[in-house]
Amino acid sequence: MRLMVTMTAIAALAAVAVPVAAQTSRGDGIEGRVDRLEREMRAVQRKVFPGGAGMTVEPQITAPAQQGSPGQPASGVVSDLTARVSALESGVQGLTGQVEQTQYKLRQLEDAFTAYKRSTDARLKALEETTTSIGSEPAAPVTGATRPPRPAQGGPAVPAPATPAAAVEKPSTSDAAEDGYVYGFRLWQAKQYDKAITELRSVVQKYPKHRRASYSQNLLGRALLDQGKPAMAATAFFESYQKMPNGERAPDSLYYLAQALVKMKKPASEVCKVYDELTQVYGDRISEAMKMDVATGRSASKCK
């Protein structure tokens, strides 16, 4: 029986070999040749195992189970790295947003400062235009004496009483700027305007950063105004405001600048500009008494 099966298989294989060789010689395509070989192999199986459908020989060597590629990290490590990268990306996005907000706020501050500077420059320019003609006005001669009162009819002239310079005491403390201002103030009170002007100007020149510099510059203008020199007084008041805008007597200097312009018979529009500047810049710093004086001055100049 075994011999018969063996001979049958040999005959079948021999029968298959002839058409295969013929197909090779004819140069058929690989795909067609494979199909034919498969059909012929099935025919051989039917001859070798007649009626034995499903009887196939299983291979003795099986392919190993597919494993991960060499160097491929475990899924848990990949998940951890992905989470950390996502956290870093979120942090970078947050920092980027904060930087953009900071840059926006800086631009807002720069715009606000530019607008403030432009407004301040415009106000200073308007005041400078108001006082351009001050320096060209001839000043009254400095005599150092007050004008005597007009004599009564038929009687001799009566000289005005003056406090002698020796009677004005000059303080002497460890603060030279304070001493100079107090001495200048006492001279101004004694109506010794020339000496007061000299002393007050010296304080401003020697101690420009001292708080009494603002006081001295303002009182210097008032001494000139009391001397009947409104043009020189206006210059002193304007310099007090321009050079020491944060000084304690800057508001007073603007108020007396308006008074000096009135005495100079300047147009009411220029006087009103000074009052406007005083209200806009120092409205929250001036006293109630000065507010009343400003209201009176605006009314007298018919300011709107």
Residue 150, phi then psi, degrees to nearest 5 = -65, 130
Per-residue pLDDT of the chain in tens (304 residues, 90 and over written 9):
444 544 444 444 445 444 544 444 444 566 676 676 667 666 655 655 565 555 554 444 444 555 555 555 556 666 766 776 677 667 667 767 776 777 777 677 767 666 666 666 666 666 655 555 444 333 333 333 333 344 333 333 444 455 454 589 999 999 999 999 999 999 999 999 999 999 999 999 999 999 999 999 999 999 999 999 999 999 999 999 999 999 999 999 999 999 999 999 999 999 999 999 999 999 988 999 999 999 999 999 999 8
Helix-helix angle 2-26:30-48, to 10 degrees: 170
CA distances (Å), 150 to each of 140, 154, 226, in order?
A: 20, 12, 18
**Phi-psi bin for 71: left (phi > 0), alpha (psi -120 to 50), beta?**
left
CA distances (Å), 249 to each of 216, 229, 291, in order?
A: 9, 20, 15
DSSP string, 21-53: HHHHHHT--HHHHHHHHHHHHHHHHHHHSTT-T
